[in-house]
Structure 1
């Protein structure tokens, strides 16, 4: 399977037609069609359903698209890393993480490095813990930010000097908005929009379930989410109360929403991690050294 043909395949999948892809790639339609047919024969699977004006990916085609994107990303990353091995430090750094105010610490490191090494570029990937871990394991990320507790056995890591504070986001006209803090009993009879991170079982431990106690199974969880921005929209529309962390949803004076912390207080630590035995690029090594120099390490 040729790398060039994978790029052809991805272009066709993106453009949705042989004609559009051929024009973009500056190749003839017969040449492109033949390459795709050879690819299907090599894999022994039909990748497209063709019509007179467009093409639709089959299930096998959708799987190949996902894998091809990962392969192309990896090849591009390798090329960038070797291209950065010059006297002037440059290159690309890939960082993944969920929604957290701790990204300010990453931003401060980036800001200071940018002054000294303006040719380094930074790529941020947003996703939940499983998404970030998968991309780390495949070598598509240099660093990940994971919320504790997390399985760190495959990674080198540093503790980040920050903690996420858990609480509830609600409309300012909600009955619970009059409270300074939210206790477990307050959540028993209200519709909840819960982060999948809050519900996740890690090493037989679920901090939110432990905080809530024996009535955890009685909660009325009507929606789960992995992006707090989307959860905030649900709250604004009166769907329910969102269990989330502080400072990632707009709860300013201009917002219709407010945040109330849990009582007793529930906090989650964070780790910046990178894969064990991974050879970091010169740019990624510089980022790690800068981070270590700024913050306490473990």
Structure 2
């Protein structure tokens, strides 16, 4: 059995008949039919149940289909890797990231990467973590920067150091004080109108219940930008990762780190497990890893 056998076998399954597959493959039907019979004889199993109009794949045929798809994908990826080997890096790197990462985490990294690989171009996508994983699953982006937790069965990841969640509010808006202290106890948020990213709602609510109160959630969002904008407008108190505050620089916006207990989050660079990564993406991962060390 060779690669052509597997390609022809899969074409028959996809087209539903040997005649249609032969047409797609630009070969005559009788030779294709003979080749499949020879393949069955070689393997010692029946791969198809042949009907008048369409063929039906047997249990053995389904097993071969699964293995053939894996082998052909591995072959394609190997050829691509060998062609890229030691040839320098060009092309386009597609990255998806949560909003705060574009401002706080990625600019310096991409600047360093550009110094090393000036011929690389970038295609950027922005969205919340769920959207970024969807783009990864569809192969629209090569790498994604998301907030943890990450499904480690589906994605490989490199997690960044944790950072605290903070509150952000307009000066003079809250009884929590202005610049008198850099921290706020979680219990002090009882009865305050809180605005939070949907990803952190469960964590906040759980810790508030442990502290003896139910948080007053004024607003929840999939993006930190509107939360910070509303906080600047004195609508409520935003609960966001500390790094997100740089998205809305304002002298009127005050921040305090939540303590007792501290609430933390982290970002992670992720990619689909066992999927081919271009040389460009692999070099980017290598640089990212070296900078974290």
Normalising to structure 2: TM-score of the pair? 0.63
Match of 2:57 in 1: none
Normalising to structure 1: TM-score of the pair? 0.62
User: Using a 3 Å threshold, how does the CA distance of structure 1 residues 117 and 225 change in structure 2: closer, same or farther?
Assistant: same
* Runs of 5+ unmatched residues, structure 1: 1-80, 200-205
Work out which of the two has the higher radius of gyration on C-alpha atoms and give 1 or 2.
Answer: 2
Match of 1:91 in 2: 91
- 1:228 paired with 2:224, answer yes
Q: Match for 2:184 among 182, 185, 204?
A: 182
Q: CA deviation at 1:91?
A: 1.2
Match of 2:193 in 1: 191
Q: CA deviation at 1:287?
A: 0.9
User: Using a 3 Å threshold, how does the CA distance of structure 1 residues 181 and 95 change in structure 2: closer, same or farther?
Assistant: same
Match of 2:169 in 1: 170
Question: Where does 1:251-266 land on structure 2 (aligned, <5 Å)?
Answer: 255-264=251-260, 265-266=262-263
- Matched pairs, number: 208
Q: Match for 2:284 among 256, 264, 287?
A: 287
Indicate if the aligned counterparts of 1:128 and 1:197 stay in contact, CA closer than 8 A.
Answer: no
Q: CA deviation at 1:255?
A: 1.8
Indicate if the aligned counterparts of 1:170 and 1:177 stay in contact, CA closer than 8 A.
Answer: no
Q: CA deviation at 1:239?
A: 1.4
Deviations 1:72-116 (A, max 9, x none): xxxxxxxxx99x959452111122222446965533332222122
Q: Match for 2:237 among 235, 238, 241?
A: 241
Q: CA deviation at 1:215?
A: 6.1
SS in 2 for 1:280: coil
SS in 2 for 1:193: strand
Indicate if the aligned counterparts of 1:164 and 1:245 stay in contact, CA closer than 8 A.
Answer: yes
Indicate if the aligned counterparts of 2:103 and 2:246 stay in contact, CA closer than 8 A.
Answer: no
Q: Match for 1:273 among 270, 273, 282?
A: 270
Q: CA deviation at 1:222?
A: 1.7
Indicate if the aligned counterparts of 2:97 and 2:129 stay in contact, CA closer than 8 A.
Answer: yes
User: Using a 3 Å threshold, how does the CA distance of structure 1 residues 229 and 191 change in structure 2: closer, same or farther?
Assistant: same
Q: CA deviation at 1:237?
A: 2.2
SS in 2 for 1:176: coil
User: Using a 3 Å threshold, how does the CA distance of structure 1 residues 284 and 253 change in structure 2: closer, same or farther?
Assistant: closer
SS in 2 for 1:247: helix
Q: CA deviation at 1:143?
A: 1.1
User: Using a 3 Å threshold, how does the CA distance of structure 1 residues 290 and 165 change in structure 2: closer, same or farther?
Assistant: same
Indicate if the aligned counterparts of 1:165 and 1:266 stay in contact, CA closer than 8 A.
Answer: yes
Q: CA deviation at 1:271?
A: 2.0
Q: CA deviation at 1:224?
A: 1.2
User: Using a 3 Å threshold, how does the CA distance of structure 1 residues 252 and 227 change in structure 2: closer, same or farther?
Assistant: closer
Q: CA deviation at 1:125?
A: 2.1
Indicate if the aligned counterparts of 2:229 and 2:248 stay in contact, CA closer than 8 A.
Answer: no
